[in-house]
Amino acid sequence: MPTPIIRIQNLTKKFGNLYAVDHLNLDIYDGEILGLLGPNGAGKTTTLLMLTTVIKPTEGTAYIGPYDITHQTDKSRTLIGMAFQEPKLLWVSTPWAILDWHAKICGLPTNERKKRVKWALEELELWNDRHKTVHVFSGGMRKRVEIAKILIQRPKIAIVDEPTAQIDIVGKHKIWNMLRDLRDEGSTILLATNELYEADVLSDRVAIIHKGKLLVCDEPKKLKDTIPGGDVIEVVLKENITQEHLAELKNTKRVVNILTIKPNHLKIYLNQAEEILPQITEFFMKAQIPIATIQMNEPSLDDVFAHYTGLTIEEAQTK
Amino acid sequence: MKTILYVVERDFKYFFRYKWWIAGMISMNLADLLIMAVVYTGMVSQEITQQYVSYFVFFAPGLTITALFAAAFMIGREINMEVRREISHYMLSLPIKRWELAIGRVLAGGFRGLVYMTPLLITTITITHVFTNVVPSPLQLLSIVAALLFISIGTSGLSISLAISTTSFEKYITARSVVYYVLFFCSTVFYPIDLIQSALPQTLALVAQYNPLSAGADLSRAFLLGYPPFSAFMFLDVVAFGLVFALVAMLAYMKVTQK
Ligand SMILES: Nc1ncnc2c1ncn2[C@@H]1O[C@H](COP(=O)(O)OP(=O)(O)OP(=O)(O)O)[C@@H](O)[C@H]1O
Ligand SMILES: [Mg+2]
């Protein structure tokens, strides 16, 4: 049984009448990367801010190691480092000054501090710009400075809020590897993201949250295995499908479940898709509903999310 | 302890990023002093300033206080901006104790004021020496600097308390102006207490009498001009102002998290 290093108990935050985080219960194990996956507004950032003791819970609490975040705030923070979603940088400052000071205030001895700051700036391709004020930086560059804080600090618990948003794909892979190294050195990483791929490749376990509530938490592979049917066929039609046709399709052999994202956009969960794909296309031809696109996929975390909410993450973002 | 120093260091460095602004402000303050010298000395009745050689000599120590106040008050503006842009979230998430963070910021504001007013203080001492021949003893100089440091810390604390309790920048600026006018108008920074007592309603005159800015200005005058006579109350007044507002600012800063 792995030991939890963060225990979130009934954690709740209300803004006016809105439950941004709604009685959340979750254990995060020592040494794992836990991905907190959810659409915009799911309550990820609010949860993280409560764990870092920046905002106070309305109800419930969490333990950071042995410390209760509601009344041992100073002690809780000694184990934590956080990289924010919106980079928290003073625009008149430079990456060098920001990171050097961060390392100092986190108690790194001088030699180690200089070494790590240089290393992070070089790895994140900020070295040449280290003395420019961040106000001339692009969004991605500011994000790099923000994540560098944590990579230098190497806290026992690293909390990273959408660490690679706005960063190019090469940069993303670099940062993912650096976060994995951080975990391998013994840190626990709590990662909030709304990118399925990021949650999938990086997390040891994924907790899916929606409207402040925890839907499910497990290893990405296990979550995908819970999707009925081993494959997914996603069809977009040029016309809406009728209820009768839908019922008929559901009764087709090997079809386990159908999710109607829109009346003309279906996700069909089934076994051995390769074999019955021709049958499915034939079905729509007979029904005289032209197909716009059709594709066959393995189940993704999006399907897990859809399984629990009836919505894809993309749809949940726009609602 | 080290942590507090690092917090101070950060704010201090940011202050000097505005070095052109500072240079501009100091020159403006010095220009003010010169204008006072030329214009007001002739205008203000001799009767009022008879103990002080001239109005110009009377006002010089007061100017140090206005400069110090302006510089120490800047920290509030920055903290207000940090709270609005949620950069405060970063400061609050750091693995340091909240009270250390809070006291560090209050002190930083105080030291900024002190550093900023140093060239003005030197100018003032030169002027008063030329006109009165008074040479303050090292202990007297030290008392002046200490008193000014307390005023500066109090001002920094006051600005931080205002910055945190006002949500918008406009409200902060308004609050700042109100505080500025009450504190300076009802004080002996610009006019001697006799004049205030004869011209202002009694309550306002009372404010002027106990106003820590009056105490600071008069303490400087006591040692640089020889009048009004020094009293221990002057020192107690500025110390109390410094400590009280440092404490209020600390509590306010720590309360930001109660959202
Ligand atoms: N300070 C605040 N005042 C009022 N409402 C807030 C505040 N902060 C967050 N909310 C609301 O709480 C909900 C959760 O917000 P939160 O920022 O935690 O979402 P998120 O999961 O991080 O989303 P995103 O992916 O967009 O970052 C949202 O509906 C948001 O509007
Ligand atoms: Mg967020």
* Residues paired with A18 in a beta bridge: A15
Residues in chain A within 8 Å Cβ distance of B9: 101
Question: Which residue has a Cα nearest atom 26 of ligand 1?
Answer: A40
> Sorting pLDDT into bands at 50, 70 and 90, what band is A1?
low
| Domain locations along chain A | 4-224, 228-298
For the stretch A262-297, pLDDT in tens is 889 999 998 888 888 888 999 999 999 999 999 988
* Amino acid sitting at position A242: T
Q: Which residue out of A40, A52, A214, A318 has the highest number of ligand 1 atoms within 8 Å of its CB and is therefore the one to mutate?
A: A40
**3-state secondary structure at position B50:** helix
Q: What is the mean pLDDT of residues B168-173?
A: 88
The residue of B7, B14, B80, B94 whose CB has the most chain A CBs within 10 angstroms, and thus the best one to mutate to test that interface, is: B94
A4-224 and A228-298 share one CATH topology?
Answer: no
Say whether pLDDT at A91 is over 70. Answer: yes
- Residue A208 to residue A306: CA distance in whole angstroms: 11
Between residues A299 and A33, the one the model is more confident about: A33
**b/e per residue B34-72 (b: at least 16 CB within 10 A):** eebbeebbeebeeeebeebebbbbbbbbbbbbbbbbbbb
Q: Say yes or no to pLDDT of B236 above 70.
A: yes
How confident is the model over B153-170, as pLDDT tens digits?
A: 999 999 999 998 887 889
Placement of tokens 């000694």 in the chain: A78
Position with higher pLDDT, A314 vs B150 = B150
Contact A41, A232 (CB under 8 A): no
Provide the pLDDT confidence category of residue A319 given band limits of 50, 70 and 90: low
What CATH number has the domain spanning A4-224? Answer: 3.40.50.300
- The answer to whether B214 and B187 have CB atoms below 8 angstroms apart is yes
Q: Which residues of A touch B89 (CB under 8 A)?
A: 49, 54, 84, 88
pLDDT at residue B257, rounded to an integer: 60
Quote the ligand 2 centre to A233 CA distance (angstroms). 31
Distance CA(B166)–CA(B173), nearest Å, equals 9
User: Taking CB atoms and an 8 Å limit, are B6 and A104 in contact across chains?
Assistant: yes
DSSP code for A43: S
Q: What is the pLDDT of residues A208-241, one digit of tens each?
A: 999 999 999 999 999 988 887 778 999 999 999 9
Q: What angle do CA A126, A132, A137 make, to 5 degrees?
A: 70
What is the spatial distance between Cα A42 and Cα A109, in angstroms, rounded to a whole number?
A: 39
Q: Which fold has domain A228-298?
A: Alpha-Beta Plaits (3.30.70)
Q: Which of A59, A86, A84 is nearest to A70 (CA)?
A: A59
Residue A112's pLDDT is: 97
Token pair in block for residue B159: 């600005």
* Count of alpha carbons within 13 angstroms of residue B2, beta-carbon side: 7
User: pLDDT tens for residues B39-60?
Assistant: 777 777 777 777 787 888 888 8
> Can you spell out the DSSP letters for A82-130?
EE-SS----TTS-HHHHHHHHHHHTT--HHHHHHHHHHHHHHTT-GGGT
What single-letter DSSP state applies at residue A51? H
What pLDDT, on a 0 to 100 scale, did the predictor assign at position B25?
79
The owner of tokens 């306002």 is: B204
Q: What is the pTM of this model?
A: 0.90
Q: What is the mean pLDDT of chain A?
A: 93
pLDDT single digits (tens) B64-96: 998 899 899 999 989 998 988 899 999 999 999
Q: Does A78 touch chain B (CB under 8 A)?
A: yes
Mutate which of A54, A69, A86 to test chain B, going by most B C-beta atoms within 10 A?
A: A54
pLDDT band at B105 (very low <50, low <70, confident <90, very high): very high
Q: B258 and A56 in contact by Cβ < 8 A?
A: yes
pLDDT of residue B258: 60
Residue A36 has pLDDT above 90, yes or no: yes
Give the pLDDT of residue B259: 61
Ligand 1, atom nearest to A85 Cα = 27
Model confidence at A198: pLDDT above 90 = yes
Q: Do B96 and A84 touch (CB under 8 A)?
A: no
pLDDT at A310 over 80: no
In a 13 Å sphere around the CA of B62, the CA atoms on its Cβ side amount to 21
What's the average model confidence in pLDDT over A122-129? 97
Q: What is the complex's ipTM, to 2 decimals?
A: 0.89
Taking the C-alpha atoms of residue A125 and residue A147, their distance in angstroms, rounded to an integer, is 13
Query: Is the model's pLDDT at A64 over the cut of 90?
Result: yes
Residue A80 has pLDDT above 90, yes or no: yes
Distance to chain A for B87, nearest Cα, Å: 5
Tokens of A230: 């081993």
Q: Distance (Å, rounded) from C-alpha A301 to C-alpha A316?
A: 14
The span from the CA of B140 to the CA of B119, in Å, is 18
- pLDDT tens track for B112-148: 999 999 998 999 999 899 988 888 999 999 999 999 9
Q: Is the model's pLDDT at A2 over the cut of 90?
A: no
